[in-house]
Each structure stands twice: as structure tokens, then as C-alpha cells.
Structure 1
């Protein structure tokens, strides 16, 4: 039996689910390490920690839903055999299903938020055959209205409907979680779950309102090609989350291994590693990234047979960009870990381990690496927000994410010319800015709490 859809698995889809598996395994291993578990509990014992974590997990959940791709089956053509099945070249995701028809409601050109007419004047023929220059009505935005005068009351009613739906769903999920907490027999002080529940309820109410209104109006207007700006902004979440996580995960192994080797073994190994990262630092990072991306773009253009649909090309370029950002971003953390390893390797307990004949690998694993964990963890969280902003900058200069892939950087790049119009078109920039600002701010606030919980210097100053 043929399926009505064909699953599409991109390389970035595989990597993001591997990442989720690794995070799940890390959470499971916390049970065996009471010290780290208590430190993480300090992070979540604050209302700010709970709220920011819920916001971050919302972004991650949207990215996961947008990473389950598929192609729908095309209707059978005349004379087509029943055994032949063809699929649409357009790749959809589970997030597209949740957003309804928001991504399919394409207008001709710009339209402002909640507008019923286009932003630009066009020549319109009247019923009498005369040609007048006026603002044409939109094809989809507000077309369910019997009269334009009904828009105000309809927006109020639909807003109540969307918010109420979101709150009902949030109430069900919060109730299930409350029952699970009530059945658990934990002896430790309760975490501020009320802050997490309130944040989650607000997010679900906003999401319910956006989905409801977004399928009736263009909440954030449309861009030059007539695409819904709200839809493009939500689709850009996956790009922002992936480029922050994948590039950071590529950076970490390189920085950790080379930094510890340079600080622990010293001598000629330290000289070689210092020479490598000094040379890499001396090259302007933006030029190096741009040259690498352009070289890979040439390879993609010369090998079109490797990609079945256009999204696979965009995904390959995106994965290359993550790899290039990771390769060029490890030097700062490497220098920091090298300096810290130089200090730790001279401590008494490390020298005692050498005297007892403990191998270098065991010393690094048991004594060096655990004392660097707070630096690695804090750097991971901080690098994430920095790479999200880097994607926007690279897309702005034309060497970032492929234009076929939704991203905040591409939206900001397009908005650079729209703001100079009179009157200016601001909603494309606003959609990308609000979502990017919320993600980066939440990550930075959460990283401050992680720093306070894991940094030994902070503990000493507090004591």
C-alpha cells in the first residue's frame, strides 16, 4: 500500500535528532552525578531560569517539528497507471500542518499587517470598463469577511477564539504535569513550577492567536513576493536554532581537544597548536567564511545530480555553513582552555597522580576535564547566541543561508532596501527581529544563571 506522502530526510534533520538524543542521554547521566544535578537544580530554582528555559525549549520544539519533512502525493493524471505514484517537489513539514494554510496564502506583492488591500497601487478595471489606479483587494487576507466594515468585530472574536484555544491546550498539558508532580515522592524543595506554567500558558495563548489570525489575515503583512511574513518568521526558527547548535557542536571537540593538549603536554605540541590558531586568527574571519561558502556553492552548482529537490541543495549549503562557522570559531575557547589547563596541570593532586603512575589519558579524563566543564558549558551557551547573530550578518552580505531556505538573516537582508522606501516597509524586519531578540535574550539570561551555578569563582565570591 502506497503512502499518501513520502518522507524526506535531510542531513540537518538527522543531526538535530542526534543532538536531542545526546541531550536526553546527558540528562539521564545526571542521576549518577549528584554534584552536577544539584548545580543544575540551582539554575532552575529561580523564576528567571524556569521562564527562560521554557522559552528556549519552545524554540527547540518548533525546530524539531519543522525538521519532520515529507512530500505529498500528487493527484493521478489522466491515463496514469494506478501503480504509478508521483510526489510534489515542494517539501512540507509537520510545522506546516500545524500552521494550516498560512504558508500557501500568497499574494501578489506587499501588504501591511491586517490589511485587506495591497500596499502598491495598480491599474484596476471597473465594471464599466474604465481603468482607475487604486489599491487592489488581497486574494486571501480577510476574504472571509462579508464586508470590510466587519473587520474590527471579527478580529476581536477571532482573537478570543485563538487565545482561548491556546489556553485550553496549555491548561490540559499543565494539568497533566501537575498530576505527575503530585504523584512523585521527591524530598527536595519544590522548584518554581508556577513560573514555568505561566510562561508556557502565555506562549500557547500567543501561538493559538497567531495560528488563528494567521489563517484569516496576514498578521505581519507580506513581502515583495507576496509571502506571509509571519510564516517566514516562524520557519526561520529552525535555521536559527540549528546554526547555533550545530556550529557550536563542531567547535567544541576541536577547541577542547587542542586546548587541553596544548596546556597539558606543552613543549612542541603547544607550539604547533599555538601556531595553528594564531595563523587562523590572523585571517579575517568574514573573508575566510565567505570564500569557503562560495567554493562550496560552486561545487553544488556543478553537481546538481546529487540533489533530488531544491530544498536538499539549500540544506547542503546550510550544513556547509555550519561546518565552516564551527571550523573558524574554535580559537577563542581553545586559548581559554589552554591557559586553564596549564594552571590545573601544576596542582598538587595532578602531580601526585603523575607520581603514582596514572596514565595521561586518565589524568585528563578524571582531573583536567571535570575542572574545565564550567568553562565549556558557559562557552557553549554564549557561542550559541553569537552564531545566531552571525547567520544574520552573513545573510545580510549575501554569503549566508540559501535564499530558498527561510531565515531571519535573509529577511533582514531584504528589509535593508524596504526601510528606505517612503513610506517604509517595516514588518519584515520586525518579524525577524522580535523572534531573534527573544531567543538571544533568553539564551543570554539562562547562560548567566548557568555561570553563577557552575563557575567556582562565583561560588568563592558568594562565600
Structure 2
């Protein structure tokens, strides 16, 4: 699809994330139409922890969405040819937002907010002598003429950026608070206001400061670390979500079937997941990924762009992680179903001739929802961390794709040098930790509300 001077190029992972968002919107509409479900989900967001963690997750998802709108820029026409050509590199809407961090590469490492390179170079002095010194960065702090201005410049520009962002936000939040005060609401608005303000202020501050400095330094080849860490959010969100959704149908179907029908069904399911568990997971994943790599190498004509190749490997990795990680949830659901199926109201439903399908949907599945939610979020966190481990051993996502695992993999050798290059690992850790923590806190609140055996689920926390 061609639009003006760009050509829209959607990857398969882009299409999948849009399908996921559309499915989520349909789920929200369904919940709003159901008074009972609407009341339960309202209790989730009436919690301070639930509301704050959801806003953090939503922020990550919005970044992943803006990074999933890809296009190719049109190249300038040459005198020899009038054909229209487009750049082989993919650009996303997020790249346009992060424009201050692009095309500002240095030679090698530089520390956060530094104005000098992290490594010494041979520099010729005015008198012709060659000395080893830390050279000035080409872009970071290039507007500073005197080194004494460095700290003061950072403080002034930071306060200015925060002030210009915080004042409009406070005005908007004050107007909103004045409006909802008449309506009345049980939502924890102070926490929502604080979380929203913190996200917007930090994001705006980072973008504005990136025009002058490398906020989180640069990596080995001089690229901005903050840019790579933000671009890796899409990889983390997608690999956790897609792999989890592959796990869900297998685990729920086989686990509940084994616990409810028992007999030969239970024997077959136990045999399958016992056999799969007997194979070391990391070896099974590595072997599957290597097979995918062989397919890519033997069929290069199917991947015209480097991004298409990286995207295919990424989707295959999500599928492999999901197919090899469903056994834990399946085992939990089997055990819970065995217990729930013996309860009095389930036995009474059988006595009244209620069909098995209706018993499963009305009694078994609702009483295992809390286990599914907790297990899925734990799996989401595990998949995000698994990507880092797999990239460390060279069988993760493609090296051309930005990910927290690739960042850690590239920086691992630098942790042994003196002085330590720590900022790449810290950047990946902070963003990964924030996503995993928010997901776990939100799932805990959902579990408290939807687990029928939990008491006091309606209390705010």
C-alpha cells in the first residue's frame, strides 16, 4: 500500500498485535454489557494497585502499537531511472516520535549524560604531540562550550522540561477532577492522576533531554541505549502475549478434559505432558529454533527484507515457547478440576441431567479462572525473561531486532571490564522489571476479585 511518499508494510507480528487489540476491545464491550462481569472488573480498577498497574501496562501496549505501524520511505529518483524505489529499512511511527535519538551516533561507548567518550583515543594536541585523552562526543552535549557548564545545563534543562510538561498536566487534571466531583466515582483518582502524570512527565523529559544528551549513554557502536531499550518494548510485549495465547488453549482444553472425564482421556493427557516434561525445555526450544533458522537459510526468496526474516523468526519463537510451556498450567488445571468435579453442586447438576459441556462452562471453568489468570501472568513474565536467556545463548530473536535480551547479550562482555559499562544492562533491567512487576500486581488484584474462595475481594488495596 502506497501513501504519499511512503509505502505501508505490515509485518505478520503487526497484524497479530492489531488482532489482539481488536479482540481486547470486543472483550471490553462484552464485559460492559454484562452487569455481573462489569461489577467484578469495576472492583479491580477500584483498587489503587490495580488502577496504577493497569496504566503502566497500557503505556507499554501503546508503545508496542506505535512501533507496529511500519512503512518504507520513498527514495529520491535518479536521472538514469524513473522507477519508484523504497528504502529497504523499515520505519515505524515510534521512530518518528523518537526522532531526537536517531542519527546521533557516536564512535563507541559513552556514559549517561556524558560529554566525553568512555574510551581514550590518540589525539593530536596544538603543538603536534600525540596524547591519549577522552575525546568530546560529536552529539552528546555538543552545545556546551565549557565543561563547567555541564551539570548546571543538565539541571536547568531538566527543570525546564519538567515544568513545561507538568503545568499543562496539572491544569488538565484539575479540570477533570472538578468535572468528576459532580459525577461521583469510586475509582482511586489520586493514584490515577499521579501515575498518569509520572508517565507523561518522565517520557516528555527523556524525549526533550535526548535532543542534547544521550540520556542512557551509547552502546559499543555508538547507538543511543534509550532508543534501543524503548524499541525493545514491542518485542517484550509481543513475545509474552503471543506465547501465552499459544499456551492457553492447549492447557485449558487438555487440563480440564483430563480432570473431568478421567479414564483413558486422563491417561493420554498425562502421558503427553509427562513425555514433554522429560525433555529439557531449553534444549527443545533451541533445537526448534535451529530448525527454523535452517528453513530461513534454505528459502531466502521468501524473505525480501531483513525485517521480514527477523519477523518470521520472532513469530516462530513465540509459537515454540507456547508449545513447550503449557504443561505446568495443564497439570494445575487437571488437579483443580479433579477437586471441583467432586463438589456437591457439581454432583447435583449431574443428577438433574445437566450436560457435561454446560457443567464445564458453568461450574468447572469459572472455579479455575483464578488459576488460569495467575499462571498466564507468571508465564508472561517467564516468556519475557526466557527471551533474554535464549538471546544470551544465540537462539533468541534475530540480532537485527531490538530486544532486552539482545541488549544484555551485547553488554555481557563489558561487565568484566574496568570501569564497568553498566548502562545497557540497567536500561534493559529497569524496563523489563517495570513491565513484569505491573503485570504481576494487576494479576494479583484480578485473582482476588474473581476467585470465589477469596474473602474481602471488594476492599481497596
Which TM-score bucket, shorter chain as reference? over 0.9
Name the residue aligned to 1:381: 377
Alignment match of 1:281 (pick from 277, 283, 303): 277
Task: Using the TM superposition, name which of 64-73 and 156-165 deviates more.
Answer: 156-165
Question: Is the CA contact (8 Å cut-off) linking 2:117 and 2:137 kept in structure 1?
Answer: yes
Name the residue aligned to 1:323: 319
Matches within 5 A, 1:172-251: 174=173, 178=177, 181=180, 189-251=185-247
Question: Is the CA contact (8 Å cut-off) linking 1:47 and 1:195 kept in structure 2?
Answer: yes
| Shift in Å, 1:171 | 4.4
Q: State the SS of the aligned residue for 1:123.
A: strand
Question: Is the CA contact (8 Å cut-off) linking 1:170 and 1:200 kept in structure 2?
Answer: no
Question: Is the CA contact (8 Å cut-off) linking 2:114 and 2:213 kept in structure 1?
Answer: yes
In the aligned structure 2, how far is the partner of 1:284 from the partner of 1:23? Answer: 34
In the aligned structure 2, how far is the partner of 1:393 from the partner of 1:179? Answer: 49
Name the residue aligned to 1:59: 60
Q: State the SS of the aligned residue for 1:340.
A: helix
Matches within 5 A, 1:307-386: 307-386=303-382
Cα distance 1:322–1:176, how it changes in 2: closer, same or farther (>3 A)? farther
In the aligned structure 2, how far is the partner of 1:85 from the partner of 1:462? Answer: 61
In the aligned structure 2, how far is the partner of 1:180 from the partner of 1:268? Answer: 62
In the aligned structure 2, how far is the partner of 1:180 from the partner of 1:338? Answer: 50
| Shift in Å, 1:408 | 0.8
Name the residue aligned to 1:258: 254
Q: Is the counterpart of residue 114 in structure 1 residue 110 in structure 2?
A: no
Q: List runs of 5+ in structure 2 lacking aligned partners.
A: none
| TM-score after normalising by structure 2 | 0.93
Task: Using the TM superposition, name which of 126-135 and 364-373 deviates more.
Answer: 126-135
Aligned residues: 458
Q: State the SS of the aligned residue for 2:99.
A: coil
In the aligned structure 1, how far is the partner of 2:238 from the partner of 2:264? Answer: 37
Name the residue aligned to 1:413: 409
Question: Is the CA contact (8 Å cut-off) linking 1:166 and 1:201 kept in structure 2?
Answer: no
Task: Using the TM superposition, name which of 169-178 and 318-327 deviates more.
Answer: 169-178
Name the residue aligned to 1:303: 299
Task: Using the TM superposition, name which of 345-354 and 375-384 deviates more.
Answer: 345-354
Q: State the SS of the aligned residue for 1:405.
A: coil
Cα distance 1:100–1:3, how it changes in 2: closer, same or farther (>3 A)? same
Question: Is the CA contact (8 Å cut-off) linking 2:240 and 2:384 kept in structure 1?
Answer: yes
Q: State the SS of the aligned residue for 2:455.
A: helix
In the aligned structure 2, how far is the partner of 1:30 from the partner of 1:361? Answer: 22
Cα distance 1:176–1:13, how it changes in 2: closer, same or farther (>3 A)? farther
Question: Is the CA contact (8 Å cut-off) linking 2:67 and 2:231 kept in structure 1?
Answer: yes
Cα distance 1:176–1:296, how it changes in 2: closer, same or farther (>3 A)? farther
Task: Using the TM superposition, name which of 397-406 and 323-332 deviates more.
Answer: 397-406
Question: Is the CA contact (8 Å cut-off) linking 1:162 and 1:209 kept in structure 2?
Answer: yes
In the aligned structure 2, how far is the partner of 1:439 from the partner of 1:232? Answer: 16
Q: Deviations over 1:138-159 (max 9, x none)?
A: 2211223344443333322321
In the aligned structure 2, how far is the partner of 1:59 from the partner of 1:175? Answer: 25
| TM-score after normalising by structure 1 | 0.92
| Shift in Å, 1:172 | 6.7
Name the residue aligned to 2:16: 15
| Shift in Å, 1:196 | 0.8
Name the residue aligned to 1:136: 135
Cα distance 1:38–1:2, how it changes in 2: closer, same or farther (>3 A)? closer
Q: Deviations over 1:48-107 (max 9, x none)?
A: 2221111111111111111111111112223332xx221111111111111123032111
Q: State the SS of the aligned residue for 2:412.
A: helix
In the aligned structure 2, how far is the partner of 1:288 from the partner of 1:173? Answer: 53
Task: Using the TM superposition, name which of 343-352 and 261-270 deviates more.
Answer: 343-352
Question: Is the CA contact (8 Å cut-off) linking 1:222 and 1:229 kept in structure 2?
Answer: yes
In the aligned structure 2, how far is the partner of 1:56 from the partner of 1:246? Answer: 16
| Shift in Å, 1:462 | 10
Runs of 4+ deviating beyond 6 Å: 460-463
Q: List runs of 5+ in structure 1 lacking aligned partners.
A: none
Question: Is the CA contact (8 Å cut-off) linking 1:162 and 1:211 kept in structure 2?
Answer: no
In the aligned structure 2, how far is the partner of 1:34 from the partner of 1:338? Answer: 30
Cα distance 1:180–1:388, how it changes in 2: closer, same or farther (>3 A)? farther
Cα distance 1:43–1:158, how it changes in 2: closer, same or farther (>3 A)? same
Alignment match of 1:272 (pick from 268, 274, 280): 268
Question: Is the CA contact (8 Å cut-off) linking 1:166 and 1:207 kept in structure 2?
Answer: no
Q: State the SS of the aligned residue for 1:457.
A: coil
Cα distance 1:229–1:32, how it changes in 2: closer, same or farther (>3 A)? same
Name the residue aligned to 1:42: 43
Task: Using the TM superposition, name which of 190-199 and 356-365 deviates more.
Answer: 356-365
